[in-house]
Structure 1
Amino acid sequence: MNAFENKRILIIGFVWPEPKSSAAGSRMMQLISFFKENGAEITFASTAAKSEFSEDLEGVDRKFITLNCSSFDDFVMNLQPDLVLFDRFMTEEQFGWRVKEHCPNAIRILDTEDLHCLREARRLAILKNKPFELNNDLAMREIASIFRCDVTLMVSEFEMELLQTHFKVPSFLLFYLPIWVENTSLNLPRFEERTDFVFIGNFLHAPNHDAVVYLKEVIWPLLFEKFPEAKMNVYGAYPTQKINSLHQPKLNFYVYGRAESSFEVISKARVLLAPIRFGAGIKGKLLEAMQFGTPSVTSTIGAEAMNGDFLWNGYISDSPDDFAEKAIELYQNKTIWEQAQQNGFEIIKNRFSKNIFEDSFLEMIKDKFENLENYRERNFIGSMLMHHFLQSTKYMAKWIEEKNKV
């Protein structure tokens, strides 16, 4: 018998997943596939509009839902899910109290993608020159959401530690589940068959936007001066006017927009460059670079929580001059490049293979089903926050709903 046979799972998506646009979309498709493989009946619901790049979600019931509307109450009461997965804390804020009220026995799981309050604190420190302040307004909301849920899926061990030490979140409310890689055998080009540098990322994601601007304006002039044969190819969904304006063929800096296949553009490149100055979670582009045998140069924040005790598949540098020098060295030196490639394969094998996590993930959910009330009794802060949040949000939502009728 499959682990989730006869179990109904409701996923409330912040957006409809676009796995070809972002790591977040790939992560969501992994979770959906995992639940399907284990026999669950899945319903995916979202307030967002679909785009032409949204996944079809074959074999999954789909539902458009509305904010501040009692129609969701009727929907969730009829569905009576056994488990509800909230895609980022904003969806838990919007619908968590309704799930609690109408499906009190459903397990509530939050998938953070990354720790938003950490990313925001770093963004303000870099772009606004503000002091790093982790106890920001976003943290008040995000940590409260984590406490209100029965378990939160974390992609970063660094962030799990931060939640436990800084915010005093109990360990039983957290579960480490990074983006994983299926064990697949890929026919990868050799060193001699690859050319150019590459960057890929969704430009709706602020860290990606900033990284490419920083790469073009600060790092690339240093690199191009020392290595004028170098060519930089930038790919990414939803490029802004600013990103498109960085396209300068005279400087061998090319902006191409959305890539049909991340495998095609990353595996053909010799080195991936990702000078990420702020952000959180783990970086899908760097994980794919390892998977596709492409060494990388990135920042400390870019590599955060990814390689553990293993050597990076390239170089980690926060200095523009050093970053440029390391990129050239990695590009030109076959011996260093091949060792870096092997380092990436070791990281994938030992830290991100699907078989490392699937059994423990199943066991964790099984344990939650069997001992849900015991866990909730241990989480008094979560019960208290849910009680007050339900009361305040419920009546605010009803007021908005009535106002919208006028």
Structure 2
Amino acid sequence: MSMSWADLRFMLERTRGLFRRGLASLRTRGLSATWARVRRQFAQHPRLPPGALYRPAEAAFAPFTVPSSDAPRVSIVIPVYNQALHTLGCLRALAEHPPAAACEVIVVDDGSQDETRAWMQAIGGLRYHLRATNGGFIAACNDGAALAQGTYLVFLNNDTFPQPGWLDALLDTFGAWPEAGLVGAQLVYPDGRLQEAGGVVFDDGSAWNYGRFESPDDPCYTSVRDADYCSGAAIMLPTALFREIGGFDTRYAPAYYEDTDLAFAVRARGYRVLYQPASRVVHLEGITAGTDTGSGAKAYQVRNRGVFAQKWADALTRQAAAGTLPSPAVLARGRRQVLIVDSETPRPRHDSASLRMANLMRMLVGEGAHVVFLPADLRHAGTDTAALRQHGVETWHAPFVGSVASWLREHGPRFDVVMLSRHYVAAEFLPLVRRFAPQARIVFDTVDLHFLRETRGADVAGDETLRRSAQKTRERELALMRQADTTLVVSPAERDMLSALLPTAQVDVLSNLHELADDGAPFAQRHDIVFVGGFRHPPNVDAVLWFGRDIFPDIRTGLPGVRFHCIGAEPPAEVLALQEQPGIVVHGHVPDIAPYMEGARVAVAPLRFGAGVKGKVNLSMAHGQPVVATPCAVEGMHLVDGHDVLVAESADAFVGAVVRLYEDAPLWERLSVNGRENIRRHFSLDAAREVVRRVFLD
């Protein structure tokens, strides 16, 4: 992104205030915090790569059109005073990348003397309001809010370049977080450094732009989280709430601290103030008022801090002490802090263990915990990493984790609970956690008992080498259970087995976690048979091969034309080869599994070995899709043959059960209803809440 002469002039102007600001910081924050700010400003942090930030091309003015609507959902209010070129750039950004949400754009002119009036009146779709007299930023914002017709109100500075998708990300936050009252964007400098990831307010009323000068992609700043305030350069809140509060408080006129005051007023009414990193806005900062707090309009920032501190004296007693260096631990103070480590980032659309893990983290966040996730492979998992962050999970990855040991040395002291998932992950991490987080309760999450699954696989294969390997796995898993404070298993059957093997171990059942889906199509409108399961899991490969070779041909004889849909990531060659048989379709991974859950008549789980609770069975039942399964597939799931599932062990019995269920509408309806009830009682988030609270939050 090239720097214009206006940008260069702004940077030169900024240097005038650095000395005064440094002295002011020493007086209010102390030497340690001031030095930290200096180091952050001049340190070399990873910036956004060239071209990552959008900026409209500079060109002579020519009329254009901004987004508009007769029934806007969002009203964007842009207060302006001179600086017509910056206003033009902001509006061009809105025009070139219009939001998906219906919106209106309102420019409130606070008495500009430059080209602002002539240009604004020539822009199509724009609502232009010229104030009779210059009243300052607060007056202009309040006038714009009075004109707003949208359900939601956005205040946007004119010295900004909103990035594509910024508005919809803010709006979506209110749907994902019903308790949200105000949401602020991530602000970045034109050079790609972070300007603000929400603000921090200290007990003396002073404030801190969290993350200033660091990388916008640093995991400290990439998750939705509570903020003390968000800069008014780009914030959204319900229009009715803003009017209920009475708008920006005019005691801060002409400007400064009005956005901080607004955030405290929103929170005082029982709502949350959230920072949304998916909404990114380039902010030039200080174009109109400068950055020198010793002169000009910026001087009101110093005065208004005292006004704010007096108004919110009671609330400020709960803030961090002045001079505290903000960090993830400081921001999450007073909340249970939980670290979760798994082999890789959960992929909920790929496997049931991932769905369980993702839903567990969502539950913990919903219960008020601050959740941190560290994948053992340290990889950024694209949309899956982004999804966790949108759920409020602080999610780490390379290059921001140099080594696990150094990361735990820095962050370990903040955790109350550390959960290590899978025995091979726990074996690597447990000694480090004991060393660097000795205060933490260690939870070993087995996911399923690996040694049990391996032993059963060895029995099916008749392989003595596999049996010896399973014995070694058993020794490792049991050793980890002795070292952990709590062990989690997914079924009562596994808990009962461990109570005999390790009577002194603390073992709790935290099973698969599912949300009930819609019922889907009725019996008469459903067709075909479906299997769901990832093929990195050996029991799934064996199950599909057995079903495809030994069971499905006889089913198709009894049900001519029926098809078998095989869904799951990374099918091996022998599974793909099943498609040579009539009626078998191997889809591999599908991005949306709902059509198969809601449209297929019968699901099958022909597992001959395995352990734990089978997510494929849970998934179908959560959608009201009846299941035919082997005894192994329904182990520990509180299911009764003929009531909420059909159980068959041999190939012939499996054929008979599938054909019967496929043709018997009353039986299908009974299993559909009872299967959903089984999910609600045993595998829903509410069913797991008591265990989650006891293990992680007590």
Contact 1:45–1:63 (CA under 8 A) maintained in structure 2: yes
> Partner of 2:579: helix, strand, or coil?
coil
The correspondence for 1:280, drawn from 599, 608, 611, is 611
Structure number with higher helix proportion: 1
Per-residue deviation, residues 285-325 of structure 1 (Å, max 9, x unmatched): 10011111111111000010112568553310111011001
1:371 corresponds in structure 2 to: none
Are 2:504 and 1:174 aligned? no
CA distance in 2: counterparts of 1:311 and 1:233, whole angstroms:
24
- Decide which of 319, 327, 347 is 1:18's aligned counterpart: 347
Aligned 1:309-328 pairs, distance under 5 A: 312-328=643-659
Q: How far apart are 1:112 and its partner, in Å? A: 1.1
Task: Please give the secondary structure, in 2, of the residue aligned with 1:239.
Answer: coil
User: Alpha-carbon deviation of 1:54?
Assistant: 3.3
How far apart, CA to CA, are the structure 2 residues paired with 1:135 and 1:278?
13
Which amino acid in the other structure matches residue 85 of structure 1? M
Matches of 2:645 and 2:383 in 1, distance apart?
Answer: 32
- Structure 1: how far apart are the matches of 2:641 and 2:606? 20
Q: Quote the residue 2:557 is aligned against.
A: 225
In structure 2, the residue matched to 1:195 is 527
Contact 2:454/2:467 (8 A) holds in 1: no
CA distance in 1, matches of 2:504, 2:496: 10
1:4 & 1:204 partners in 2: Cα distance? 40
Q: Tell me whether 1:204 sits opposite 2:539 in the alignment.
A: no
Aligned equivalent of 2:624: 293
TM-fit CA distance, 1:229: 2.2
2:480 to 124, 145, 152: 145
Q: Tell me the matched-pair count.
A: 360
SS in 1 for 2:459: helix
1:121 alignment counterpart: 455
Shift of 1:169: 3.8
Q: Sort the Cα spacing of 1:239 and 1:319 in 2 relative to 1 into closer, same or farther, 3 A.
A: same
Q: Secondary structure at the match of 2:425?
A: helix
1:4-403 maps to which residues of 2 (within 5 A)? 5-48=334-377, 49-51=379-381, 54-56=384-386, 57-58=388-389, 59-64=392-397, 71-79=403-411, 80=413, 81-130=415-464, 136-165=471-500, 167-170=501-504, 173-182=506-515, 184=516, 186-248=518-580, 251-308=582-639, 312-367=643-698
Shift of the alpha carbon at 1:365?
A: 3.4
Q: d(CA) in 2 for partners of 1:135 and 1:185?
A: 37
Letter in 2 for 1:41: H
Q: Return the alpha-carbon distance in structure 2 between the equivalents of residues 126 and 160 of structure 1.
A: 23
1:96-150 Cα shifts (integer Å, max 9, x gaps): 0011012111111111110000000001111235597897110000111111111
CA distance in 2 between counterparts of 1:24 and 1:227 reads: 33
Distance 1:73 1:153 in 2: 25
Aligned to 2:668, the other structure's residue is in SS state helix
- Cα distance, 1:5 vs. partner? 4.6
Give me the whole-angstrom Cα distance separating, in 2, the residues matched to 1:132 and 1:335.
44
What SS does the aligned partner of 2:625 have? Answer: coil
Letter in 1 for 2:495: M
Distance 1:275 1:216, change over 3 A: same
* 8 A Cα contact 1:274 1:299, kept in partner: yes
Q: Following the alignment from structure 2 to structure 1, what is the Cα–Cα distance between the partners of residues 560 and 436?
A: 64
Pick closer, same or farther for the CA change 1:63–1:272 going to 2, 3 Å.
same
Q: Is the 1:159–1:281 contact (alpha carbons within 8 Å) kept by the matching residues of 2?
A: yes
Using the TM superposition, name which of 29-38 and 258-267 deviates more.
Answer: 258-267
Q: CA deviation at 1:333?
A: 1.0
Amino acid in the other structure paired with 1:156 = S
Asked if the contact 2:680–2:687 (Cα under 8 Å) also holds between the matched residues in 1, the reply is no
Distance 1:5 1:29 in 2: 24
TM-score (norm 2): 0.49
Relative distance call for 1:195 and 1:246 in structure 2 (3 A) is same
Amino acid at match of 2:529: F
Q: Which amino acid in structure 2 is aligned with residue 88 of structure 1?
A: R
Please give the alpha-carbon distance, in whole angstroms, between the structure 1 residues aligned to 2:417 and 2:511. Answer: 20
- Contact kept, 8 Å, 1:207 with 1:276, in 2: the verdict is yes
Q: Which runs of 5+ in 1 are unaligned?
A: 368-406
Equivalent pair of 2:360/2:513 in contact (CA under 8 Å): no
Map Cα deviations across residues 223-282 of structure 1 (whole Å, 9 max, x no partner): 22332222111111121222212113x511111111222322122110001110010111
Structure 1 residues 276 and 327: alpha-carbon distance in aligned structure 2, compared to 1, 3 A threshold: same
Ranges in structure 2 where 5+ consecutive residues have no aligned partner: 1-269, 271-331
**Greater length-normalized contact order (CA 8 Å, ≥ 6 residues apart):** 1
Could you tell me which amino acid in structure 2 is paired with residue 97 of structure 1?
P
CA distance in 2, matches of 1:262, 1:169: 41
Contact 1:201/1:235 (8 A) holds in 2 = yes
CA contact (8 A) 1:273 1:296 kept: yes
Q: How many angstroms does 1:350 deviate by?
A: 2.2
Tell me how far apart the structure 1 counterparts of residues 643 and 484 of structure 2 sit (CA, whole Å).
Answer: 35
The 1:275–1:101 alpha-carbon spacing in structure 2 relative to 1, beyond 3 Å, is same
CA, structure 1 residues 93+223, in 2 after alignment: closer, same or farther (shift >3 Å)?
A: same
CA contact (8 A) 1:21 1:237 kept: yes
Are the equivalent residues in 2 in contact too, given 1:299–1:316 (CA < 8 A)? yes
Aligned to 2:168: none
Query: Does the CA contact (< 8 Å) of 2:643 and 2:670 recur in 1?
Result: no
Q: 1:323 to 1:4 in 2, by over 3 A?
A: farther
- Root-mean-square deviation (CA, aligned residues, Å) is 2.5
User: Does the CA-based 8 Å contact 2:641-2:647 persist in structure 1?
Assistant: no
Deviation at 1:70, TM superposition (A): 9.2
> Per the alignment, do residues 50 and 265 of structure 1 end up closer, same or farther by CA in structure 2, a change over 3 Å counting?
farther
User: Residues of 2 paired with 1:217 and 1:53: CA distance?
Assistant: 37
Greater Rg over alpha carbons, structure: 2
Q: 1:185 to 1:13 in 2, by over 3 A?
A: closer
Q: CA deviation at 1:65?
A: 6.7
Question: Which amino acid is the alignment partner of residue 322 of structure 1?
Answer: A
